[in-house]
Amino acid sequence: MSILEMKVPSPGESITEVEIAAWLVKDGDFVEKDQPIAEVDSDKATLELPAEQSGIITLKAEEGDVVQVGQVVCLIDMSAAKPESTAEAPKAENAEAPKAEEKVVEKPAIVEASKEEKPTSYASGTPSPAAKKILDEKGVQASDVTGSGKDGRITKQDAQTASVAAMGSGTSGGSRAVTSTKLSMLRRKVATRLVSVKNETAMLTTFNEVDMSEIFRIRKQYKDEFAQKHGIGLGFMSFFTKAVTRALQMYPDVNASIDGDYKINYDFCDISVAVSGPKGLMVPVVRNAENMSFRGIEASIKNLADKVREGNISVDEMTGGTFTITNGGVFGSMLSTPIINPPQSAILGMHNIIQRPVAVDGQVVIRPMMYVAMSYDHRIIDGRESVGFLVAVKEAIDNPVEHLFNGDERKALEL
């Protein structure tokens, strides 16, 4: 028998432990090499753990366990033969013994069931033995729990998060169930960082508004040609990223961080872009954005956003930004005060675009307007720099042809 001990690999520098967020296979399953077998949470990202070899797997850790990098979390019996397909078994005996076929169909169901259960325990709404024990201890009826397991069975996790519905004569008879779900390691780390920002920085926010008319015109005029030539859409983020990198070069103290008694200035602009994914908000980094074209920025952001949404983003791709852009407008936010992403010293918040009446050259006109907010650490960024920075962003968005395109739209868009 040849047994492989699978250990937790290091997700990145400085990470010493991870949490088993979910097993994607069951104990005793046959797994193929490189097949994802688990999702693990670090304090920076959620990553998939692939099988290192093919064979029968034995789990050595449970969901929710915090394990050290290098710790054995499962065993793979590489000498075990891959089981025959359940679909082929009935065909082999079909011609000779129809009754025997029924037995063959039933056997795979027993293999999939828990060793302590009968096949019928996998019926919808039926708890596993471990789940039943937990429900009995809580006094919760299985009929009040929605199972997330195969065929609707109630898993141990379902039982752990279930609670008794509070009933009383004054209620309307509707569900009053309360569930308790442990925060992922990533979410707990984010929570700690956000609280530390509020407690350890002198954070202030300054506001302004930008007129999106020219950007609307440029996108409408060139979006089809841009997409046809570059194979990617022309969105708002490239305009704002370009406006931010220009403003950072004009106000270098905004592109800085504090390290003890020292201020660290960066001569490059690594822009963190907030992206909402299935595991929460992540901030992958566009490196050296100050040297990128509109096409390069759009391609880089799309690539990183796809990785976040697919759960394939790496820790390195989310580390080392010098300034962050977040767009709450995609969710309908009109105005907000974004929180600084440490160790950075400033963040720009974009918001939704609303057709509003504004005064232009003494006339009231309707324009697509957006509020923008910049939160900054007042310990190293003074009011002059913060307000000047946001005004520079406004200038570039209000008049991109002059400030971002150098008067040549087609050349800037590489058309």
Q: How many CB atoms lie within 10 A of CB 314?
A: 14
The one catalytic residue among 211, 382, 398, 408 = 382
Dist CA 47 CA 40 (whole Å): 5
Asked if residue 266 lies in contact with residue 256, where contact means CB atoms within 8 angstroms, the answer is yes
Q: How, if at all, do strands 346-350 and 323-327 pair?
A: parallel
3-state secondary structure of 216: helix
Dist CA 280 CA 43 (whole Å): 12
Q: For residue 304, give the H/E element and its range.
A: helix 294-310
The one catalytic residue among 361, 378, 398, 403 = 378
Dist CA 80 CA 91 (whole Å): 24
Overall size of the chain counted in residues: 415
DSSP code of residue 69: T
Give yes or no: 158 in active site: no
Nearest by Cα to 209 from 330, 356, 338: 356
DSSP code of residue 123: S
Give yes or no: 378 in active site: yes
DSSP strands (E only) in 330-400: 346-350, 353-360, 363-377
Catalytic residues: 378, 382
